[in-house]
Amino acid sequence: PDPNTCIYELYTGSAEHVFARTRGGIFRSTDDGLTWHRIEAQTLPGAARETFVAHPTGHVAALARIGAPAADTIYTSADNGHTWKAVGLPEEYAHLEELTISAYGTLLAKGRSRLENGRSANDVLRSTDGGKSWTLLWSENREVDVYVVGPDLYVNVHRGAFRHSRNDGITWEEI
């Protein structure tokens, strides 16, 4: 990126791959940050500036908002962002806010679903197959945050429980 570009976040992929999420898009470096190249819109459609995650295996994912009104789409790549593929989302999730990847490569998405009364719930979804299928971990009426710390996963339910998983989100305990 331009030296004056605001970098929101940096991510490490496999080997020397480093990614920067900026206002101008996603940039990739293959020489430990000495030079940078923008991941072009042809390879990563949409405004993929919302959330971007990278894993040392070379798997990366981006959350993009496309069209008007904006529709959320997750794009995944198994080759450090050289090629991308759109993956499906459960239809009831109109708005995803965050995407996280665990130490094991599991994708976790934080989103909102519509309830029958017109209100929305804060949901945490889990995908172990690169976003092809999703499992609802739980739904809360309060804001939630998802954190990855080493191999462990944590979910903070605002003004409520703090949950911890030691096995990639298969089981959880309140702490």
Higher pLDDT, 116 or 142: 142
Q: Residue 140: is its pLDDT beyond 70?
A: yes
Total residues belonging to the chain: 175
DSSP, collapsed to helix, strand or coil, labels residue 53 as strand
Adjacent-strand bridge partners of 146: 155
Kindly report, residue by residue over 24-48, the tens digit of the pLDDT. Answer: 778 888 888 888 888 765 556 555 5
pTM for the predicted model, two decimal places: 0.75
Residues 137/124, Cβ–Cβ less than 8 Å: yes
**What are the distances in angstroms from CA 7 to CA 3, 10, 22, 83?**
10, 7, 5, 23
